[in-house]
Amino acid sequence: MGARELAERTGWRVVGKPIPRHDAWDKVLARTAYAADWEMPGMLVGKVLRSPYPSARILRLDTTRARSLPGVAAVLTARDVPRNTLWTDVPGQTTEVGPLRAKLHVLAEDRVRYQGEPVALVAAESEETAEEALRAIEVDYEPLPGVFDPLDALAPDAPLVHPDSGSNLLARWNVQTGDVASGFARAEVVVEGTYRTQFVDHAYLEPEAGVAWVDADGVLTIRVATQVIEHFRDVAEVLGLPHNKVRVIGTYLGGGFGGKEDVTVEVFLGLLAWSTRRPVKMVWSRQESLLARSKRHPFVMRYRTGALRTGELVAQEVELVADAGAYAFLSALVLLYATTVACGPYRVPNVSVQARTVYTNNPPTSAMRGFGAMQVVFAYEQQMDRLARALGMDPVELRVRNALRKGDRLPIGQVLETHVAIPEVARRAWETLGPPQPPSAPHLRVGRGLACNLQPYGRIVWLHDWASAWVGFEMDGSVVVRTGVPDVGAGQASSLCQIAAEVLGVPVDRVTIHVSDSALTPLAGTTTATRQLMMSGNAVLRAASELRDQVLRVAAQLLETPAADLQVEDGQVRAPDGRTVPMVRVLRECARAGVPRSAFATYHAPAGDPIDLERGGGRVFPDFTYGAHAAEVEVDTETGAVRVRRYVACHDVGQAINPQSVEGQIQGGAVMGLGYALLEKVALDRGNNLTTTFATYLIPTSMEAPDVVPVVLESGEGMGPFGARGIGEPPVGPPAAAVANAIYDAVGVRVTELPVWPETVARAIHGLEGSPKTQGEGGHHA
């Protein structure tokens, strides 16, 4: 029986309820041991020596003095790394997809390509000694020319970031559907814009951290804050060890957001622990993290959009250029996401998307919540706003008119197989703003803006994604779940407990879950790509359902009643006529009869093979989450300050497993998106990072965050358990566009570059003298 039917029978006891999470209690009672909260006897402290230059040759690297300091146990450079060059697939996947593989050096060899690139590692008896050891390493650099803008990097005479690749162009994707020339010829109104987004940082409150040791069986064990425990394979490759000799234990994260998706400390810890045969702890400083950790891809996005006077879209011409930074990491995949959803959740018959991602000597860019699909919202929703204004059309009406429907195709040819809730979310978000309120002072102007989005959930189908889970009853009727799911703090583990509890008829606190151990829990893949609820949720659902069936077959014999008629609740199995048998009795009978009291299941996501996007041939993602945000801003016309006065975020989540967690994701994601819109910027000056402290890298405080009003719709048609869709990434997409559209509504200023600082708005209103200080590109207001 399907999950939703099952839940109907069980009465939706647990799923769909805002139950406090088990890890929340642990966290307030200070029981949770994060990655840095781990001590072992004889533990050393590990640190990384990093390049101060964004582009340089290493002429000399001498670790003699460092190695001779008392208390220094190891100093390692590229020479000491068995396999220093990694070819990384998409993290955690077992299926390779050619263009998505990326080359990475563990430690720099003869060149450094970004400021902060790791050059050497030390392990020492104390933090102080480790710091002294870093200071004692002698490095002579010869600074080299670098490139710091993707378009500069594509010029024929540009210095090559990776000379052996022949070009700074890392990857390109093209989509051509229909005929854009004839589309524009038909268009009765055409709007254009160039939009620029910035480098931002994940800025999780917990810095990167972990401890590694070699256990009694000779297994290299790494306890680390990670979104991907499958990195044990990367560590094994680097060290030249068999994969089954490396174990990664993922801790409960203090935030991930994609920043703990690539390897961070794992390989360094593995090298140091293996070399010293002692436990080693490495905790990055905030400043180190802000300096050197991968960032979100900045995009330059040129859009030309054509429509009929009725509002019907007829053509979209899009050019995307992304800055891949010094190393590829996930840049090709991020670009693919952006390309796939570049036209937004709308029907457009004629589409051209040309997308490129380019190496520079800026910090490497990789995964961050939204993953390419969020940057383009800033562009496509402002295009829609321009169109609505050009046509004198209500912003909701324009979206509704063009919204994709179930059964329609995206420009890449993918057919949408589930409900597309754009009309509902757009209407609900807009009307939930309520009646317009006047500005609170004469120098203030109020405006409202709408932005819709679609965000994929689940990995691209070319990766043939899967996740496994094991669910079992103990003899006393309590339940154990084992699955290799990293919990990033968004309730990944607790949702699985709810699912198991619902299916097996136990209270949720009767479920214990063990997660995130590559040796002891069945692998479930990465906690990224808004995939985990669908993947491990379905795996747990499947395993729990199989277990329920196994156990009820035995109970059926005891009660002489068909299994399909039995209910399980409160430790009792109940027949329709009221007769019961205690579950513990059933379990004892299972043991006697040799019926397993556990089940193991694997969920396979919809799979497909790579398509040629240009030939418009098919499926890239399993499915999408649709949303709409509505912002009301108050603009201070004197200072240009933008205050978000009211903010509504509406998403169709299919089925909320834990409504409180869903609301929390929506509110947190929206505020992260507002930080992206109004505050955050990694300031780079020719590859030199100027914002390497929390004093200078500005994330929203409670004063900058409005109370986001979450509106949760449940269409029941998601591919996750009980019809759920993912909600981790979707809310981070619309805010920048919603705010930009609201600013235009308030003061007639179209902001096309992020972040929108007050100066940008003030300049547009007052025409101030002098030039603005922007990231080297000048302020464009197209």
Subset of 241-270 contacting another protein (CB under 8 A): 252-255, 257
Of these, 5, 28, 145, 442, which contacts another protein (CB under 8 A)?
Answer: 28
Q: Nearer Cβ to another protein, position 216 or 703? A: 703
Distance (Å, whole) CA 533 – CA 226: 17
Q: Nearer Cβ to another protein, position 316 or 691? A: 691
Distance (Å, whole) CA 594 – CA 251: 36
Residues 693-722 that bind another protein (CB under 8 A): 693-695, 698-705, 707-708
- Contact code string over 267-286 relative to another protein, x by CB under 8 A: ----------------x-xx
Residues 743-772 that bind another protein (CB under 8 A): 757-759, 762-763, 766, 768-772
Of these, 158, 170, 203, 540, which contacts another protein (CB under 8 A)?
Answer: 203
- Where does this chain touch another protein (CB under 8 A) — which range of 3-11, 237-245, 487-495, 568-576? 487-495
Q: How many other C-beta atoms can be found within 10 angstroms of the C-beta atom of residue 20?
A: 12
Q: Which amino acid is at 583?
A: M
Q: Nearer Cβ to another protein, position 369 or 548? A: 369
Distance (Å, whole) CA 294 – CA 684: 14
Q: Nearer Cβ to another protein, position 216 or 695? A: 695
Q: Nearer Cβ to another protein, position 21 or 548? A: 21
Q: Nearer Cβ to another protein, position 27 or 409? A: 27
Residues 317-376 that bind another protein (CB under 8 A): none
Distance (Å, whole) CA 610 – CA 606: 13
Distance (Å, whole) CA 330 – CA 369: 13
Residues 119-178 that bind another protein (CB under 8 A): 127-128, 131
Distance (Å, whole) CA 528 – CA 157: 38
CB of 484 to another protein, least distance (A): 19
Distance (Å, whole) CA 574 – CA 578: 6
CB of 28 to another protein, least distance (A): 4
Of these, 185, 205, 520, 593, which contacts another protein (CB under 8 A)?
Answer: 205
Residues 653-672 that bind another protein (CB under 8 A): 660-661, 663-664, 667-672
Counting residues that bind another protein (by CB under 8 A) gives 81
Sheet order of strands, 280-283 included: 72-76, 118-124, 44-50, 280-283, 209-214, 220-224, 246-250
Contact between 734 and another protein by CB under 8 A: the answer reads: no
Rg (CA), the chain: 27
Structure-token pair, residue 150: 């993707």
CB of 45 to another protein, least distance (A): 10
Structure-token pair, residue 306: 């054509």
CB of 131 to another protein, least distance (A): 8
Is residue 55 within 8 A of residue 112, CB to CB? The reply is yes
CB of 62 to another protein, least distance (A): 22
Is residue 230 within 8 A of residue 239, CB to CB? The reply is no
Q: Nearer Cβ to another protein, position 207 or 395? A: 207
Contact between 442 and another protein by CB under 8 A: the answer reads: no
Q: Nearer Cβ to another protein, position 245 or 286? A: 286
Contact between 773 and another protein by CB under 8 A: the answer reads: yes
Residues 69-128 that bind another protein (CB under 8 A): 127-128
CB of 319 to another protein, least distance (A): 28
Distances (CA, A) of 272 to 96, 214, 234, 519: 29, 11, 15, 21
Is residue 530 within 8 A of residue 457, CB to CB? The reply is yes
Distances (CA, A) of 576 to 36, 507, 559, 564, 573: 53, 21, 10, 10, 10
Residues 557-576 that bind another protein (CB under 8 A): none
Q: Nearer Cβ to another protein, position 290 or 416? A: 290
Structure-token pair, residue 124: 């020492």
Distance (Å, whole) CA 551 – CA 554: 5
CB of 334 to another protein, least distance (A): 20
Of these, 236, 679, 727, 749, which contacts another protein (CB under 8 A)?
Answer: 679
Q: Nearer Cβ to another protein, position 371 or 697? A: 697
Residues 602-631 that bind another protein (CB under 8 A): none
Q: Nearer Cβ to another protein, position 563 or 641? A: 641
Q: Nearer Cβ to another protein, position 41 or 701? A: 701
Kindly give, in sequence order, each residue whose CB lies less than 8 Å from that of residue 381, ignoring residues fewer than 6 positions away.
Answer: 344, 450, 451, 452, 453, 734, 737, 738, 741
Query: Please, which residues bridge with residue 357 across strands?
Result: 171, 322
State whether residue 384 is helix, strand or coil: helix
